Amino acid sequence: MTASHCPYCALQCAQTLTAHAPDGVAVTARVFPTNRGGMCQKGWTSGSVLTATDRLRTPLVRGTDGELHAATWDDALDLVASRIAALQAESGPDTIAVFGGGGLTNEKAYALGKFARTVLRTRFIDYNGRFCMASAAAGANRTLGVDRGLPFPLADLGGAQAVLLLGSNLAETMPPAVQHLAGVRARGGLVVVDPRRSATASLTADGAGLHVQPVPGTDLALLLGLAHVVLADGLADTDYLAARTTGLEELRRSAATWWPERTELVTGVDVPTLRRLAHLLAAASPSRGGSGAYVLTGRGVEQSSQGTATVTAAINLSLLLGLPGRVGSGYGAITGQGNGQGGREHGQKSDQLPGYRSIEDDAARAHVARVWGVDPMTIPRSGVPAVELLRRLGTDGGPRALLVHGSNVVVSAPAARGVRDRLAALDLLVVCDFLPSETALLADVVLPVTQWAEEEGTMTSLEGRVLRRRRAIAPPPGVRSELEVVADLARRLGSTVAFPTEPAVVFDELARASAGGRADYSGLSHARLDVEDDLFWPVPAASDGAASHPGTPRLFLDAFPWPDGRARLVPVQHVGPTEDVHPGAPTYLVTGRVLAHYQSGAQTRRVAELVASAPEPLLEIHPLLADLLDVEPGDLVRLTTPRGTAVARAHLTTDVRPDTVFLPFHWSGAGSANRLTTDATDPISGMPEFKVCAVEVARWEGSVDVLDDESLLDELGVGATAAGVGAVG
């Protein structure tokens, strides 16, 4: 039996893996502070993916007939290396781009970033975590001084008197986490802000709390209105603000313009509800004798063109109430992907080096260069965020080749039909995966790599816990680790930079590279984690003769990591979504998760139990809107935006607002939600505006078979060259 953690979300539920034939594992839950012995149905069935009938077990190379054919590893890697070398000789280092994933181990994320910058020497690297945590990271960095999803243990929520949960559906995305809300529900203090009555919003029923349903895209205005009430009604923690923050007067002037009646006009949240919410949070704050309050944000408010501003406003509210840096209170962002936190800390992000260092900082560049054994002048400067990187693929002066690791961009990226066009324009597309995802099936070369139960490594959870992933079984013959792939390519490309393939050795190098950075792992090793199980970063290396650093479960208790030790209150303003409803598209589209599936569905749509639970995307539509459109339960509904068209089956429910429809994003084909979403991005974080756009909704009279027809848009005359798509939207 092997102790490990779930391969899916950032809760990283603890598992025990028991090997059984053929090539599979039995999965059971084990007790751990986050999941407390529980798992969701995805975790319980995670072993099934190991033995998927279409598991990739040999490299594939596209032949002259246009089809993918089995190849040897030597032939596949020689082809990739020769094509990269030829493209770079012709067009320079930046002609190659790298797209990583938030599910890669810390070791693989680190090696991928190092490979891009020392072997390829390209500035074009980013990852799908840009679609997940970018706005939360940017907001936390500019206010609190550091980005760690939850700067406190998740279990701390248990003692709270109030929790404000903005744009997160924990009951479906991380079901075991809901048990940490039992205390606040019993105290009547759970507040869920969501335009849908999600499974999490339903937890507020029967006196457990409050569900607030703003107009989609107006969460920032709601937060500004709450800040106004807190200041105007004398609810702010003045002593805390004076001692631990800067910028209060500028914030006060900004919030003064968001009086309750204006907030109601914009958000649809009435004045009594706004005041009730502000006073509930204030009563729970330590300064007023409460047992504690938390403000938490999720993708629903962060995946927006004003996502950084929204997170900033949430942090401002928490600071006004005196929450961050106090045990039992605080602000946090709920990380989504399994290693969304660690993946951005150690080099996949376009502007970061290991240890959460800025790639533009000369001292940081010099430190990391010493670890890598290279001249710091050879390390490229900042690249561009993920959406912009995808836009540039195959364009004049843009990357002509893309290496994809752990991401399924043709399903998960916004304006997905345009993404498909950009991939088709490349001279070379290489995908490392363990399943033939929709993106892998478009590749010129597909390289089969190991899954979670077949590899050693570490992951960093939503709380900043560094966890051990352990190998329970050997990978199938013909499958390699991405650490081996990177090392082999580096050698073939003539690099003299060392790329170890043993995960523990890679981690030791990562630890040295992170030393002194915001995310300092220098006091950690596989050996230490095998003894102590998990530790919260930062964990700096102990000085000579000192005891090992115990880790940092709670940040900000003494000071914020700014020179003066004070958090920054940063004024922001609401401008609304980039695409609001209008006569041609009078309905809001919001997207999100369902319980049975995860991310692009590449794994979960291969598990029989999960497919049986949710076999196709269902469009949630209010009965009033359905009646207006002559739509009956089970009818096919056509959704159209300037990016394209999708078709899904109608599910009538009062859980959505009459002006809003909801479509989950786990499917490809005609039901793909990201055919519709806009690729407008936050100007600070680069986060795309997944969560709201304007859509035309109509009953669809076509065949049921169209649900799986990838050529649907061409049949409808709404192809990828439709207005606004061109280069990925």
In a domain, 655, yes or no: yes
Indicate the pLDDT class of residue 3, thresholds 50, 70 and 90. very high
**pLDDT for residue 729 is more than 90:** no
> Of 39-53, 137-151, 693-707, which gets the smallest average pLDDT?
693-707
Shared domain for 395 and 427, answered yes or no, is yes
Over residues 53-77, mean pLDDT: 97
Q: What percent of the chain has pLDDT over 70?
A: 96
* 194 shares a domain with 108: no
Same-domain status, 280 and 187: yes
Distance, in Å, from the CA atom of 571 to the CA atom of 569, rounded to the nearest integer, reads 7
pLDDT score recorded for residue 713: 46
Is residue 524, in this structure, part of any structural domain at all? no
pLDDT grade for 711, boundaries at 50, 70 and 90: low
3-class DSSP state of 314: helix
Both tokens of 521, joined, read 């792992």
Q: Give the residue among 169, 123, 603 at the shortest CA–CA distance from 352.
A: 123
The pLDDT of residue 547 is 77
Res. 718 pLDDT band, cuts 50 70 90: very low
Is the pLDDT at 463 greater than 70? The verdict is yes
Percent of the chain with pLDDT over 90: 92
Q: What is the pLDDT of residue 727?
A: 26
Q: How many structural domains compose the chain? A: 3
Full domain range(s) for residue 655:
587-716
Q: Are residues 404 and 467 in the same domain?
A: yes
Residue 525: which residues within 8 A CB-CB, separation 6 or more? 504, 507, 508, 511
Give 343's pLDDT tier (boundaries 50, 70, 90): confident
Which of 476, 503, 530 marks a domain boundary? 503
Cβ–Cβ under 8 Å, residues 345 and 460 = yes
In a domain, 552, yes or no: no
Q: Both 173 and 321 in a single domain?
A: yes
CA angle 380, 386, 390 (to 5 degrees): 100
CA distance 174 to 150: 15
DSSP 598-667: -TTSTTGGG-HHHHHH--S-EEEE-HHHHHHTT--TT-EEEEEETTEEEEEEEEE-TTB-TTEEEEES--
pLDDT tens readout for residues 144-171: 999 999 999 999 999 999 999 999 999 9
Q: For residues 186 and 117, state if they share a domain.
A: no
Domain assignment present for residue 89? The answer is yes
DSSP β-bridge partners for residue 679? none
Give me the mean pLDDT over the 644-662 stretch.
97
Dist. CA 444–CA 61, nearest whole Å: 6
Is residue 181 situated within a structural domain?
A: yes
Q: Is 222 helix (H, G, I), strand (E, B) or coil?
A: helix
pLDDT at 396 over 50: yes
Q: How confident is the model at residue 33 (pLDDT cuts 50, 70, 90)?
A: very high
39 Cβ contact list (under 8 Å, min separation 6): 6, 13, 15, 27, 29, 176
**CA–centroid distance for 605 within its chain:** 19
The residue-averaged pLDDT of 468-476 equals: 96
Average pLDDT of the residues in 250-272: 98
Give the model's confidence band at 704: pLDDT under 50 very low, under 70 low, under 90 confident, else very high: low
CATH code for the domain in which residue 226 is found: 3.40.228.10
- Contacting residues for 135 by C-beta, under 8 A, at least 6 apart: 302, 303, 304, 307, 308, 310, 311, 682, 684, 685, 687
Residue 415 included in any domain: yes
Does residue 553 carry a pLDDT above 50? yes
Residues 370 and 233 in one domain: no
Question: What's the mean pLDDT when you consider all of the chain?
Answer: 94
- Say how far apart CA 177 and CA 33 lie, in whole Å: 10
* Same domain flag for 276 and 343: no
Q: Are residues 236 and 294 in the same domain?
A: yes
CATH code at 89? 3.40.50.740
In the prediction, which pLDDT does 708 show? 53
- Closest of 100, 131, 134, 95 to residue 115, by C-alpha: 100
Same domain, 158 and 268: yes
pLDDT for 715? 45
pLDDT number for residue 706: 57
Band (pLDDT 50/70/90 cuts) for residue 24 is confident
Sheet holding 330-333, edge to edge: 209-212, 190-193, 162-166, 293-297, 330-333
Phi/psi at 717 (5° precision):
75, 25
pLDDT over 60 (residue 728): no
Domain CATH for 699: 2.40.40.20
* Residue that the structure tokens 């994933």 belong to: 101
Output the pLDDT for position 544: 72
Residue 560 falls inside a structural domain: no
Task: Using alpha carbons, select from 693, 722, 688 the residue that is nearest to residue 581.
Answer: 693
At residue 723, the pLDDT reads 27
Q: For the segment 680-701, what is each residue's pLDDT rounded down to a tens digit? A: 999 999 999 999 999 999 999 8
Q: Residue 462: its pLDDT value, please?
A: 96
* Domain boundary, last residue among 473, 503, 533: 503
Which residues sit opposite 358 in a β-bridge?
352
Residue 219 reports pLDDT greater than 70: yes
What average pLDDT does this structure show over 470-478?
95
Specify if 553 maps to a domain.
no
* Structure confidence at residue 336 (pLDDT): 83
Look at residue 533 and tell me whether its pLDDT is greater than 70.
yes
pLDDT at residue 340 above 50?
yes
Within this chain, do residues 240 and 257 fall inside the same structural domain, yes or no? yes
CA distances (Å), 78 to each of 85, 119, 433, 445, 671, in order? 10, 15, 18, 11, 38
Instruction: Give the end of a domain, one of 485, 503, 521.
Output: 503
Q: Are residues 213 and 282 in the same domain?
A: yes
- In this predicted structure, the answer to whether residue 283 has a pLDDT above a threshold of 60 is yes
